[in-house]
Amino acid sequence: MSGVGGAAGAGGEGAEGGAAGGGAADDGSSGSADLPRAAIVYNPTKVNIRRLRGMVAAMEAEKAWGPSLWAATTVDDPGEGQARRLLAASPAVIIAAGGDGTVSAVAQALLSQPVPLGILPSGTTNLFARALGLPLGVIGLPFVNARRALRAAFSDVVRTVDVGRVDALLENGATLSRAFTVMAGMGVDAQMVVNTSSKGKETLGWTGYVGAILESLVRNRRFDLAFSLDGVALPETPAHTIVLGNAGVLPAGIRMIPGASIDDGELDVVVLRPLGAGEWVRAMQWFWRTNTAYLPRRPATRAAADGSAPVVNAAVWHARGGAVTLTVGVPQDFEIDGEYLGRVVSASAWIEAGALRVRGSAVPPAGAAAPAALSAADAAASADADASSADADAANA
């Protein structure tokens, strides 16, 4: 739980929100027009507003910034509208204080804007903050950790990162267009969102998702999936899950998408399609290899585990490119950044490279090797060679 975690109570939240209801923002005292100032979009169910205001005031004094602007999220607007209104005041940073949903909504408003995003992680998973390398703290010291995260949001370090975009057609004929900071998909990840109760998340934190993941895996509901990568159609396949990733790390450092990077300009696509016990074993072997400190010695198997080479076998398909389109035979539950969006018939997704500026993020070391991409043509050729790839993978195990 974050150091600013816990709702401050329903009473008075509207007054704290300032611009959240569309009125004038809470802009503090006069005489500070020439000083930089922050804008805070906070989720009143996730943060203790009184504690947060005290921490922000201390940071303003330390940095010699003017009083911050404040806006609370609402059920009808999880943060995008508040952030757009606050942009008119030209703040030095807009800080999202809340969970992944709040962060994603505020990020949507800041795409291709000069104003950077700051993050005070206050949710159960905080996936984008993890991908950015922001301070998440040590269990048992939440207050100190919240101060570290806030210091990062006020820091002078600004990093440019990618954002994913998805256009989807829903079962009811409606369409949606959304940005995502971490990942989107259908299958296990979407069922995890559907099956996880709010009470479980509040009580157990990110471990509240474990039961939902196991339930989704046991049900093993497959669906007919047709998709293309960079305009090249891949063979239709029965699939258990498809994940579209801008980043690939889950809570506790678990890698769902090996090699995914938030600033490589590419979209990672993972399809899980095991059929039968043997292929489930192969899928679990791949997952285990991507999450162990001891990578395989064989170069090909190591490359598949660390994400520097594509994976194409009967159980797992992993590649990256610029854009993907997909259709399913039966409408499937769909999630974006941990938010359930409904049942989707078809979707297209792509990466907007360098679309978001973020304060306080750790920049990868210079010279770090970038994961290799799989071209669309190679992806098609590899998919056609599915059976032989599966035999080779078994030999390397």
| pLDDT, tens digit (0-9, with 9 covering 90-100), for 239-281 | 988 999 999 876 555 677 888 889 999 999 999 888 877 887 8
Residue 103: in which H helix or E strand, if any?
helix 100-109
Question: Could you give the C-alpha distances from 203 to 167, 197, 199, 208, in angstroms and in order?
Answer: 34, 10, 6, 8
- When comparing pLDDT for 390 and 245, which is higher? 245
Q: Please report the pLDDT score of residue 397 as a whole number.
A: 42
pLDDT bracket for residue 190 (50, 70, 90): confident
Amino acid at 67: P
Cβ-Cβ contacts under 8 Å for 292 (sequence gap 6 or more): none
Maximum alpha-carbon separation in the chain: 72
Residues with Cβ within 8 Å of residue 129, at least 6 apart in sequence: 103, 119, 121, 136, 149
pLDDT for the residue 6: 52
pLDDT at 193: 62
In this model, does residue 65 exceed pLDDT 60? yes
Where on the phi/psi map is residue 302: left (φ > 0), alpha (ψ -120 to 50), or beta? alpha
Predicted pLDDT at 324: 97
Write down all domains in the chain, each with its CATH number in brackets.
Answer: 13-156 (3.40.50.10330), 163-353+366-396 (2.60.200.40)
pLDDT tens track for 125-146: 788 988 898 877 544 334 437 8
Q: Which of 1, 262, 321, 40 is nearest to 130 (CA)?
A: 262
**Burial zone of 302 (CB within 10 Å; 0-12 exposed, 13-18 middle, 19+ buried):** middle
Question: Rounded CA gap, 220 and 213, in Å?
Answer: 11
- Among 129, 131, 130, smallest CA distance to 118 is for 129
> Is pLDDT of 11 > 90?
no
Using the predicted structure, report yes or no on whether residue 305 has a pLDDT greater than 80.
no
Instruction: Report the distance separating Cα 373 and Cα 171, nearest Å.
Output: 33
Q: How confident is the model at residue 373 (pLDDT cuts 50, 70, 90)?
A: very low
Backbone angles phi, psi at 333, to 5 degrees: -60, 140
Q: Over 60: is that where the pLDDT of 14 sits?
A: no
Residues counted in the chain: 397
Closest CA to 213 of 170, 256, 244, 245: 256
Residues 6+ away with beta carbon under 8 Å from 19: 25, 26, 69, 70, 71, 82, 85, 86
Bridge-based pairing of strands 339-359 and 323-336 is antiparallel
Q: How far is CA 219 from the centre of its chain?
A: 25
- Per 3-state DSSP, the chain is made up of helix, strand and coil in percentages (nearest 5) of 35, 30, 40
Residue whose C-alpha is closest to residue 352's, from 99, 90, 113:
113
Position 385 pLDDT exceeds 50: no
For residue 333, what are its two tokens?
């539950």
Do β-strands 117-121 and 93-98 pair in parallel, antiparallel, or remain unpaired? Answer: parallel
Determine the Cα–Cα distance for residues 382 and 385; give it in Å rounded to an integer.
Answer: 5
DSSP 79: S
Confidence of residue 304 (pLDDT cuts 50, 70, 90): low
The arithmetic mean of pLDDT across residues 282-304, rounded, is 69
**Phi then psi dihedrals of residue 71, to 5 deg:** -150, 130
Q: Model confidence over 168-188: pLDDT tens digits?
A: 999 999 999 999 999 999 987
**Residue scoring higher pLDDT (326 or 199):** 326
pLDDT surpassing 60 at residue 307:
yes
